[in-house]
C-alpha cells in the first residue's frame, strides 16, 4: 500500500523539445498565403466596336524598350498617375448640357474627357515590353482610380472607398450594413467606372 502513495513525477522536460520539433517542421513545410494582386478583366470574346471621340481616349503606349508614351508624348512613370487623374476627372462637358459631371474636380479642359463614364484608357503594349513595367502602369492606373474614388466617397459618405471595400469583405459585418456598403461601393464605381482597354502593338 505504501508503495502507491507517491507516484513518480513524469519528466516533462522533453515535451518542449518534441513540440519544438513539430513547430519547426510546420515552419519549414508551410507558407503563409499572401496572395494579393491587381485584378483585371479581359474583354469578352464578341468584338465590340464603338465610336470614341479622341478626347475621351487616353492613350498609353509601352514600346519594346519599355518606354512610356502618354498621348503621343514620352513621359516619366512618376507622372502617369497625375496625368490619368487629370484625364478621368476632367469633366469637359459644360454645366447644363447632358452628361455634365457635377462631382468632377478637374480643370474642365476641352481636349480631355467629357466625363468619367466616357473616359477610356487604352493601354498598348509590345510583345517585348517588360512585365514589371506593365504591372507598374496598371498599378498607377489603379492608383488614379482609387484616389478619385476615395475622394468621392469621402465627400459623399465620410469614409474612403478602400476603407468601405475592406469593411465589406471583413467577417462579422451584419447583413444590413453589408447591403448599405454594397450600394455605396456600387455608387462610387458608377461615378468612376474603370475602363481600361488593352491593345497589342505589332510594329512600333
Partner 1 sequence: MIRLKTNRGGNLPAISTASLPDIVFILLFFFMTVVTINDQQLMVENTLPFATEAEKLEKTENSIAIFVGRPKGEHIAALGTTPRIQLGNRFVNMDQVAAATLGELYTIPEHLRNSATIALKADRTIKMGVILDIKEALRQVNLFKINYTTVQGDVFQNIEQLD
Work out which of 142, 167, 193, 195 binds partner 1, going by CB under 8 A: 142
Using alpha carbons only, give the angle 149, 187, 170 rounded to the nearest 5 degrees: 75
Instruction: State how far the Cα of 69 lies from the Cα of 94, in Å rounded to an integer.
Output: 29
Work out which of 94, 135, 154, 173 binds partner 1, going by CB under 8 A: 135
Q: Does 60 bind partner 1 (CB under 8 A)?
A: no
Q: Does 175 bind partner 1 (CB under 8 A)?
A: no
Q: Does 37 bind partner 1 (CB under 8 A)?
A: yes
Cβ-based neighbour number of residue 196 at 10 Å: 18
Write down the residue that cell numbers 444590413 correspond to. 176
| Dihedral sign of CA atoms 125, 77, 186, 193 in order | negative
Q: Does 26 bind partner 1 (CB under 8 A)?
A: yes
Q: Does 48 bind partner 1 (CB under 8 A)?
A: no
Which residue number, 49 or 169, has a Cβ lying nearer to partner 1? 169
Say if residues 84 and 140 touch (Cβ distance below 8 Å). Answer: yes
Q: Does 143 bind partner 1 (CB under 8 A)?
A: yes
CB of 86 to partner 1, least distance (A): 18
Work out which of 42, 98, 102, 202 binds partner 1, going by CB under 8 A: 42
- For residue 33, which phi and psi values (nearest 5 degrees)? -70, 120
Give the SS3 label for residue 60. Answer: strand
Work out which of 117, 138, 159, 167 binds partner 1, going by CB under 8 A: 138
CB of 82 to partner 1, least distance (A): 14
Q: Please list, in sequence order, all residues whose beta carbon lies within 8 angstroms of the beta carbon of residue 83, skipping any fewer than 6 positions away.
A: 70, 71, 75
Q: Interface residues with partner 1 (CB under 8 A)? A: 12-13, 15-16, 18-20, 22-23, 26-27, 29-45, 62, 66, 77-78, 125-136, 138-140, 142-143, 146, 165, 169, 200
Amino acid at each position: 500500500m505504501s508503495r502507491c502513495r507517491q507516484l513518480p513525477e513524469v519528466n516533462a522536460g522533453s515535451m518542449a523539445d518534441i513540440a519544438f520539433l513539430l513547430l519547426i517542421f510546420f515552419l519549414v513545410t508551410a507558407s503563409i498565403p499572401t496572395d494579393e494582386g491587381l485584378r483585371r478583366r479581359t474583354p469578352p470574346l464578341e468584338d465590340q466596336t464603338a465610336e470614341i471621340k479622341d478626347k475621351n481616349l487616353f492613350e498609353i503606349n509601352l514600346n519594346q524598350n519599355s518606354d512610356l508614351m502618354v498621348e503621343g508624348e514620352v513621359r516619366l512613370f512618376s507622372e502617369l498617375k497625375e496625368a490619368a487623374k487629370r484625364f478621368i476627372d476632367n469633366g469637359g462637358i459644360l454645366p447644363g448640357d447632358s452628361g455634365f459631371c457635377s462631382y468632377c474636380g478637374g480643370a474642365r479642359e476641352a481636349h480631355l474627357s467629357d466625363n468619367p463614364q466616357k473616359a477610356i484608357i487604352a493601354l498598348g503594349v509590345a510583345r517585348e515590353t517588360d512585365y514589371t513595367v506593365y504591372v507598374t502602369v496598371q498599378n498607377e492606373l489603379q492608383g488614379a482610380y482609387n484616389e478619385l474614388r476615395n475622394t468621392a466617397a469621402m465627400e459623399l459618405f465620410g469614409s474612403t472607398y478602400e476603407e468601405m471595400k475592406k469593411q465589406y469583405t471583413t467577417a462579422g459585418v451584419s447583413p444590413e450594413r453589408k447591403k448599405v456598403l454594397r450600394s455605396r461601393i456600387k455608387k462610387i464605381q458608377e461615378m468612376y467606372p474603370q475602363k481600361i482597354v488593352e491593345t497589342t502593338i505589332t510594329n512600333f
